[in-house]
């Protein structure tokens, strides 16, 4: 027990510490100096973790759970989609905040794998074409004209589509 503090003051400090009051309010209530209250707090509550300060989160658990479901289903494909969805449920935020929220929820933006659509008919046609041309000679292939067509996008890029994937989820 520190010198100079009566047992009644010490009991009041312990009670205030038990009620999770701040050191400045405890010092003001009990008449004990602020450094003494901090020292008592360190000895009486060695594993005390200070509450996180700062502004509280803007989104609520219900909103984030609904957003997580929408992202998992693939309904929201871009940050703009996420922002417009959040705005529709009454939670307006900037693109940077939405991106930070996605990262906090465990979603990362990854390049979407390009998968050509091949129906059964496409596969049959390809196999048929391969079988008809498998015995061609080099001279036959020299008669074929191969063209190098280039696609130029005027309004924005058409490549590198991104999708949201949860950490640890592949495919």
pLDDT one-digit tens code per residue, 6-57: 888 888 988 888 888 888 898 998 988 899 988 888 888 878 777 777 777 7
The angle that helices 61-73 and 79-88 make with each other, rounded to 10 degrees, is: 140
Pick from 96, 98, 77, 72: nearest CA to 87: 98
pLDDT band for 170, please (50, 70, 90 cuts).
Answer: low
Q: Which residue spans within the chain are E strands per DSSP?
A: 107-111, 162-166
CA distance 156 to 108: 23
pLDDT 10s digits, 93-129: 899 988 888 888 888 888 777 777 888 999 999 999 9
Q: Which residue has the tokens 């312990």?
A: 14
pLDDT surpasses 70 at 79 = yes
CA distance 102 to 109: 9
Two tokens, residue 59? 């989104």
Q: What residue segments make up the domains of the chain, in order of their start?
A: 7-44, 58-146+158-171
pLDDT greater at residue 127 or residue 154 = 127
User: Model-level pTM?
Assistant: 0.46
């Amino acid at each position: 027990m520190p010198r100079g503090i009566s047992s009644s003051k010490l009991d009041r400090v312990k009670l205030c510490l038990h009620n999770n009051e701040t050191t400045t309010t405890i010092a003001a209530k009990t008449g004990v100096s602020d450094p003494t209250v901090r020292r008592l707090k360190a000895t009486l509550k060695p594993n005390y973790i200070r509450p996180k300060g700062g502004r509280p989160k803007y989104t609520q658990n219900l909103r984030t759970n609904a957003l997580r479901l929408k992202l998992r289903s693939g309904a929201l494909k871009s940050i703009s989609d996420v922002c417009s969805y959040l705005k529709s449920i009454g939670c307006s935020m900037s693109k940077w905040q939405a991106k930070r929220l996605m990262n906090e929820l465990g979603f990362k933006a990854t390049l979407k794998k390009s998968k050509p659509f091949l129906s059964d008919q496409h596969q049959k046609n390809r196999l048929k074409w391969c079988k008809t041309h498998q015995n061609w000679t080099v001279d036959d292939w020299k008669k074929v004209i191969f063209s190098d067509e280039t696609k130029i996008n005027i309004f924005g890029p058409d490549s590198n589509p991104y999708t949201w994937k949860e950490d640890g989820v592949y495919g």
